[in-house]
Structure 1
Amino acid sequence: MGRRFWPIISIFCLVTAGCAGSETVLRKQVEMEGTIEQLTRQEKALDARIAELSRELRDLQQRMKGTEADVDAIRPGLDQLKASNDALYQRLAEQQPSSPGGEVHPQRVEAQADGTVAHPVAVAAAEKGGQEAYARAFAVYSQGNYPRAIEAFEAFVRAEPQSEFAPNALYWAGECYYAQKLYDSALKSFQRVVSEYPKARKVPDAMLKAGFSLIGLKDPVRARGELQSLVEKYPKSPAAVKAKEKLGHL
């Protein structure tokens, strides 16, 4: 083969090798694009999850702020509660007659001069101040003793209806009923918060749980109305966020 053909052969070899290399590069490019697309989908899913967790975190922070009054009420009362609890029950025991079997009933109600009935916790509230009585009721609720907590919260409201903690006490009484699936009683407690203490911070939460109670009572029409009213009156509240979620499933 003449020397003059060598450049042509060289070019042919380079072109052939280039074609084979282009196919490999193209295949690698397709594979890379598939990987990038998969990573993009995963990134979007991760962003969505992060956004969801951020919303949940903000909701939790708002709920924690909403219970500041409860925490502030409990903190100073717990130390006093620890010191005075035994003395309180001892005093109640001395004031009440024993049953035929000799058992003392510290939860006995006492008739007043005007014919009304007062619970011992209400008496304690009048003697020692509403804050400690509220803290004591909330402590019972925290222990999961819902019937006793209801008695204590409602007794507190009767004794201290003008207290800043009265709407909170009504709300937590409603929560106690709700936890026991006593939805009708729960609804009444939550509605009392709204009607008797319309400016209280617990009103949005009470409206939310009133809606949930109506759902428990199999009354979705009224439940929707209650939740929609909450969203309209308190659109920026954490309770409204929960209401919107629930409305989407009614």
Structure 2
Amino acid sequence: MHNLKWLIIAGLISLPLTVQAKSADEKIAELEKKIQSLQETYLQNNKDVASAVAKAETVLQDAQALKGAIDVGQHELRTYSTQMDRRFLDLEHRLNALEEQMRILIVQTGKALKQLNPKLANETDAYQAALNQAKEGNYLNAVAKFETFLKAYPKSEFVGSARYWIGECFFGLRDFPRSIKEFQKYIEKHPRGDRIKNALLRQGLAFAELGKSDEAKLFLEKVIKEYPNNDEATEAQGKLDRLNQKPAAPPPVSSVPESSYPEKTLQEERQEQPPPEQMEY
């Protein structure tokens, strides 16, 4: 798995930007097919849930390795193209959704080893439906489904993730004030959540998008300080470096004096002069 990660990283750095994005899309599509196959296996044959758990964990590791490779590629190529930054952000959203799908499947199949629980299945299906909407970019629908899920299953183990994804959806909608607010709800209600660093990073990026550099720097510096060895810290440092860059100086005022040529030609001035008076003899 370690070798796989570095092979992907090397490929991402060495290929052109458009090829990297295409390659990442293809790998994500492969992971999505594997997830769908695992989910069908779970629904059709609960006798093989132990095998499904093992397969799910393997696919999750692959997804995490690919995400790490994309993070490295994004860091290396960040200065080249704002458009590619957005492309990488879209890929990151899709990979986050894939990871979440795998966690759901692992939890679902793991509990099925002990007993089959129809209530748990309904709960998981409701969360999965909301997550699918987020993955497809239907952010408003996703928010509605996540909020419905929180009301229906307030004690679910997916409550924290649902709150986090509401913030992600508003970030995707570029409603940055609402995104900051929703991420703060997640941080306050789940202080030990495993996505705190992600929420802090998103808040920093959202403030930057709003043009509030001072606030953005506070959140980015917090991520770097409290999570120094994480990919989020690397991304935060890259954004912080760009915010700290001095704006380009305005072009110098030309020192060339104004033209000394007359506004009118000699011929034009002569034409404007009155004719000389006729002398009387």
TM-score (norm 1): 0.52
Question: Do the aligned partners of residues 215 and 139 (structure 1) sit closer, same or farther apart at CA in structure 2, a change above 3 Å counting?
Answer: same
Equivalent residue, structure 1, for 2:230 = 237
Equivalent residue, structure 2, for 1:226 = 219
Equivalent residue, structure 2, for 1:73 = 104
Alpha-carbon distance in 2 for matches of 1:205, 1:247: 15
Letter matched to residue 242 of structure 1 = E
Deviation at 1:237, TM superposition (A): 1.8
Question: Do the aligned partners of residues 65 and 129 (structure 1) sit closer, same or farther apart at CA in structure 2, a change above 3 Å counting?
Answer: same
Deviation at 1:201, TM superposition (A): 1.1
Deviation at 1:128, TM superposition (A): 5.7
**2:12–2:70 contact (8 Å) kept in structure 1:** no
**1:66–1:201 contact (8 Å) kept in structure 2:** no
Match status 1:145 vs 2:138: yes
Question: Do the aligned partners of residues 184 and 152 (structure 1) sit closer, same or farther apart at CA in structure 2, a change above 3 Å counting?
Answer: same
Task: Choose 1 or 2 for highest CA Rg.
Answer: 1
Deviation at 1:223, TM superposition (A): 0.8
Say which is worse superposed, 127-136 or 224-233, in terms of deviation.
127-136
Aligned length: 154
Equivalent residue, structure 1, for 2:196 = 203
Deviation at 1:196, TM superposition (A): 0.9
Deviation at 1:180, TM superposition (A): 1.4
**1:74–1:138 contact (8 Å) kept in structure 2:** no
Letter matched to residue 59 of structure 1 = G
Alpha-carbon distance in 2 for matches of 1:179, 1:162: 27
Question: Do the aligned partners of residues 50 and 141 (structure 1) sit closer, same or farther apart at CA in structure 2, a change above 3 Å counting?
Answer: closer
Letter matched to residue 186 of structure 1 = S
Deviation at 1:204, TM superposition (A): 0.9
Alpha-carbon distance in 2 for matches of 1:135, 1:220: 36
Deviation at 1:73, TM superposition (A): 1.4
Question: Do the aligned partners of residues 60 and 158 (structure 1) sit closer, same or farther apart at CA in structure 2, a change above 3 Å counting?
Answer: farther
**1:74–1:132 contact (8 Å) kept in structure 2:** no
Equivalent residue, structure 2, for 1:216 = 209
Alpha-carbon distance in 2 for matches of 1:58, 1:135: 21
Deviation at 1:182, TM superposition (A): 0.5
Which of these residues, 211, 226, 246, is aligned with residue 239 of structure 2? Answer: 246
Deviations 1:87-117 (A, max 9, x none): xxxxxxxxxxxxxxxxxxxxxxxxxxxxxxx
Say which is worse superposed, 59-68 or 154-163, in terms of deviation.
59-68
Equivalent residue, structure 1, for 2:48 = none
Alpha-carbon distance in 1 for matches of 2:177, 2:161: 19
Letter matched to residue 68 of structure 2 = D
Classify the secondary structure of the residue corresponding to 1:181: coil
Classify the secondary structure of the residue corresponding to 1:200: coil
Deviations 1:39-90 (A, max 9, x none): xxxxxxxxxx959849x9672488869964442316888xxxxxxxxxxxxx
**1:228–1:243 contact (8 Å) kept in structure 2:** yes
Question: Do the aligned partners of residues 232 and 242 (structure 1) sit closer, same or farther apart at CA in structure 2, a change above 3 Å counting?
Answer: same
- Mapping of residues 170-189 of structure 1, within 5 Å: 170-189=163-182
Letter matched to residue 132 of structure 2 = A
Alpha-carbon distance in 2 for matches of 1:72, 1:57: 16
Classify the secondary structure of the residue corresponding to 2:156: coil
Which of these residues, 153, 158, 163, is aligned with residue 156 of structure 2? Answer: 163
Deviations 1:157-196 (A, max 9, x none): 2333432222221222112111111111111111112111
Alpha-carbon distance in 2 for matches of 1:126, 1:226: 39
* Gapped regions of structure 1 (runs ≥ 5): 1-48, 78-124
Deviation at 1:129, TM superposition (A): 4.0
Alpha-carbon distance in 2 for matches of 1:143, 1:50: 29
* Gapped regions of structure 2 (runs ≥ 5): 1-8, 15-64, 72-91, 109-117, 244-281
**1:126–1:159 contact (8 Å) kept in structure 2:** no
Classify the secondary structure of the residue corresponding to 2:157: coil
